Structure 1
Amino acid sequence: MASNVPKNSLLYKNFHKHPAALVESASGIYLRTSDGRNILDATSGAAVACLGYDNQQVQQAVIDQLRSVPYCHPGFYKTQSAEALADFLVESTSGFMSKAVLCGSGSEAVEIALKLAKTYFSHLTTPEPERSHFIARVGAWHGATLGALTLGDFKVRKEPFVQLIPQNSSRVSACSAYRGMRPGEDEKAYVGRLAQELDDEFQRVGSKNVCAFVAETVGGSASGCAMPVKGYFPAMKAVCEKYGALLILDEVMCGMGRTGSLHAWQQEDVVPDILVVGKGLGAGYAPVSAVLVHSALVDSLQASGKSFAHGQTYMAHPQAAAAGLAVQRIIKDENLVERVRIMGRYLERKLKDRLLPHQHVGDIRGRGLFWAVEFVMDKASKTPFPPGWELHAKMHSRGMEKGYEIALFNANGSCDGYSGDHFLICPPFVVTEEDIDEIIDRTARVVEDTFDELLKSAA
């Protein structure tokens, strides 16, 4: 006889337990669970749900597409929704990019970007097949698939699979003023030092072996919104151009309006050769990501007369494209990127006023509606808490409890890959000042009560 009791057959991250919150409905920026909690989603899931959870225009766009063409093979046919989304994305770059590949997850998009970069050098008039090495950054996170793991440096997620992944990448220091700048060093000197480190790595590896330098324009979950200082990316691009390599920017988390411009690189005086976007592209209404390719690369690839040896069943999926196009049109028509800047300044002020005085809050950093709070044992030395304390996980767990009911995106490793606790606050673009006030109040109670309990137990 069939039972209505859930058997927990779905495998999550943990083989022994599953998420405690069963979400029954969602609206605005709140998720309602079966046990009566009304959780304020201060993180848009994982910087995804930028329009909140019940935008009827996007829902209708997906329904309309489902009714007309739910799916067709991307190698045989094209659909209006996919063509229109690609056109929108290309136009959003002011003509710098001329082609877009539409795919599913951010990890998938990163894989495609790596393959496109390799293809570009293989298809040159004078091919450079030896260019197969990628330089990434310490503390980076570029996705969970094997090629993306090659680039990444989120150690707890990478180390179990090191024997499986290609060994064709190396890392240089991230641009992280809080952790990376030396006493007495100004931003210009810091940028110069990082540029020299990248130059040295090109020479160490062999400049003709390097395919691309890959970086998150603004650091994501692993680094806790590590911010580029002024002049950093132009200096990195100059090193790449010196040696004929490409610049790939990963904006899966920080892009599509999240940091106050549609593309984060538009605030950095630099243009990437290949751009990866996702998450906020479809706002969670469908799994969709994209890879945008600079017109110069496209011209070269087209001139070769050769094809790109890549294809996947769900590329340019009509429903995903319809959702992404509807989301991006709403963001544009309602001027939500400007709203991100305005609300971002309000969120920054409130966060810093309430939390920065706390003795264990070491840094608050970010841009737009993309902020991180990092915790330390001692502010002067920036000493992190021991990894075994799992402070970041305790913060998240408390936030989900009845009476707090706020989702905080927690992570660790921002100091050395293992230690360093932080969480992200990245609410939907439709957030109001009243919502932000509520986020700050709930977050502060989580932080204060967690430390009260932690320090009492340590006494």
Structure 2
Amino acid sequence: MTHVFHRQLNTTLPRAVSARGISITDADGKSYLDASGGAAVSCLGHAHPDVLAAMHEQIDRVAYAHTSFFTTDVAEELAADLIEHAPAGMSHAYFVSGGSEAVEAALKMARQYFVEIGQLQRRHFIARRQSYHGNTLGALAVGGNQWRRAQFAPLLMAVTHVSPCYEYRDRQPGETPEQYGARLVQELAGVIETLGADSVIAFVAETVVGATAGALTPVPGYLRGVRELCDRHGILLVLDEVMSGMGRTGTLHACEQEHVVPDLMTIAKGLGGGYQPIGAVLAQGRIVDTFARGSGLFQHGHTYIGHPVACAAALAVQRVIRRDGLLAAVRRQGQALTSRLQATFGDHPHVGDIRGRGLFQAIELVRDRADKTPFDAGLKLHARIKRQAMQCGLMVYPMGGTIDGQRGDHVLLAPPFIVTDGELDAIVERLARAVAGALEGLPAGSRA
């Protein structure tokens, strides 16, 4: 009997009792390799001594102080650290308790910026289909995850969605990646013209798409084209790096690899590594200066923003990443993961695509590799793979609706930055067993 309102009410979950390194152990003594970092969160793995020590020290000093009364040394230190390593022009960090809150804050920050400069007519957000930006109502509205949006649709603000950058399925024969990216930019330009450029607040996008479509990377030049288009019309570019940022793709910020600087950027998961709930919005100096010269306040806030223990955990995580050279490790082990996935699944009859960057990669499952036909959605292949993986002692992040919110299955991998070669071997071997077990369990004829 449980009194926890679990997200799935008809499933009995194993009870986690201990965690260390990249493994979690349940109450029955079974160990699971955390190949997804939970939800791309546990960048340092579990029970890192430096992070635990920093949290204990902060608890002994100041455990909580409401930000309408006080700032704290640790919040100031973390903000300074983040800005020192942020994209050009970023001047301030606004702390929240997670990714959804970060996106919600960024949307309100973007709208208030135009209120501050007297452009009250700007009211539209543009985002992409097959995106995920969080589960609060504002974040859900800009997100393009149809399954999560469906039952709450009447409550969501109107947002215009354009095509995702989904090269595997949407780049046309004979079209180069650059031409495909240019076509997407032209689609966005047409939507901006239809809405009226002076009525658009921001374009919101994940730099590398995470949960909804599985590690979709932008084609060369696409985000630079988006940036130029936004600049031309005075539209803000909000990049969501809640999942793909803070080192996950091999650079601290995923946008570094695109040579693009956003106006607002959301970060979370890898910021604190799961040791405490924390996220942030990184803001360009001109936006913060506009607020300071105008109303002098950001009309937004939550009880636990800037929580001292969360800030201490995040600061320790970031210092460990730099001290231990873990960005280089992500790039190195990312290549190792790619080579293992290619060796195991490259010729698999039901794996159509292997994609991603760094330690943020995915496989997309298909019924037919030749024409990329997905499995019937009713089979819930992604859920079958998750069950099989847990039986194998492996945590992965599968999702359905990869293509359009209904059809398609993928499995996302996001192991901790400290993952070893031996652990990568075990992850891919167990994933292969899980995929095989899930496929073998399908009804007769469903794989033909």
Q: TM-score, with normalisation over the residues of structure 2?
A: 0.98
Which runs of no fewer than 5 residues in structure 1 stay unpaired?
Answer: 1-6
1:339 matched to which residue of 2?
A: 329
Following TM superposition, by how much is the alpha carbon of 1:95 offset from its aligned partner in structure 2, in angstroms? Answer: 4.3
Aligned partner of 1:138 in structure 2 is 129
Aligned to 1:266: 256
Deviations 1:157-203 (A, max 9, x none): 11110111112x11111111102201111012111111110000001
- Aligned 8 A contact 1:141 1:152 in 2: yes
Q: Secondary structure at the match of 1:434?
A: helix
Matches within 5 A, 1:102-181: 102-124=95-117, 127-167=118-158, 169-181=159-171
1:87 aligned partner: 80
Which residue pairs with 1:420 in the alignment?
A: 408
Task: Report the Cα offset of residue 238 of structure 1.
Answer: 1.0
Q: Secondary structure at the match of 2:155?
A: coil
| Matched residue type, 1:141 | Y
Residue 51 (structure 2) pairs with residue 63 (structure 1): no
Q: Who is 2:387 aligned against? A: 397
Q: Which residue of 2 aligns with 1:232?
A: 222
**Partner SS state of residue 212, structure 1:** strand
Identity across matched positions, percent: 43
Match of 1:444 among 424, 428, 432: 432
Q: 262, 285, 289: which one pairs with 1:295? A: 285
Q: Displacement, 1:416?
A: 1.3
**Contact persistence 1:351–1:440 (CA under 8 A):** yes
| Alignment partner of 1:435 is 2:423 | yes
- 2: CA distance between counterparts of 1:270 and 1:45? 29
Unaligned runs of 5+ in 2: none
Runs (4+) off by over 6 Å: none
Contact 1:237 1:270 in 2 (8 A): yes
- Note the C-alpha offset of 1:356: 1.8
**1:380 aligned onto 2:370:** yes
TM-superposed CA distance for 1:17, in Å, is 3.1
Q: How many equivalent residue pairs?
A: 447
Q: Distance in 2 between matches of 1:298 and 1:219?
A: 27
Query: Once the two structures are superposed, what CA deviation does each residue of 1:183-227 show, in whole Å capped at 9, x if it has no partner?
Result: 111012111111110000001111111000000000000011111
Change (3 A) 1:398 1:338: same
Distance 2:259 2:43 in 1: 25
Moved more, 266-275 or 301-310: 301-310
Alignment TM-score, normalising by the size of structure 1: 0.95
| Alpha-carbon separation, structure 1, partners of 2:87 and 2:231 | 21
Q: Shift of residue 305 of structure 1? A: 4.6
Map Cα deviations across residues 311-348 of structure 1 (whole Å, 9 max, x no partner): 21111000000000000000011110011000000100
Q: Is 2:2 the counterpart of 1:11? A: no
- Tell me, yes or no, if structure 1 residue 247 matches structure 2 residue 237: yes
CA distance in 2, matches of 1:308, 1:451: 52
For residue 458 of structure 1, report the CA deviation from its aligned partner. 4.7
> 1:31 maps to which residue?
24
Q: In 2, Cα distance between the equivalents of 1:261 and 1:358?
A: 30
Superposed CA deviations along residues 90-142 of structure 1, whole A, max 9, x for unmatched, are 11115420010011010000000001101111111xx1011111000010100
Alignment of 1:194-205 (within 5 A): 194-205=184-195
Instruction: Determine if the alignment matches structure 1 residue 357 to structure 2 residue 347.
Output: yes
1:16-49 CA deviation, whole Å, 9 max, x = no partner?
334x211111111111111231111100100000
Matches within 5 A, 1:176-195: 176-195=166-185
What is the CA–CA distance in structure 1 between the aligned matches of 2:147 and 2:256, rounded to whole Å? Answer: 32
SS in 1 for 2:442: helix
Alpha-carbon distance between aligned partners in 2 of 1:458 and 1:186, rounded to the nearest angstrom: 34
Structure 1 letter corresponding to 2:125 = F
- Inter-partner Cα distance in structure 1 for 2:186 and 2:229: 9
Q: Aligned equivalents of 1:265 and 1:76: distance in 2?
A: 35
Please report how far the alpha carbon of residue 304 of structure 1 lies from its aligned counterpart in structure 2 after TM superposition.
2.3
The answer to whether the Cα contact below 8 Å between 1:97 and 1:294 also exists between their aligned partners in 2 is: yes
Question: What is the SS of the residue equivalent to 1:163?
Answer: helix
Q: 2:160 is paired with a residue of what secondary structure?
A: strand
Look up the equivalent residue of 1:142 and give its one-letter code: H
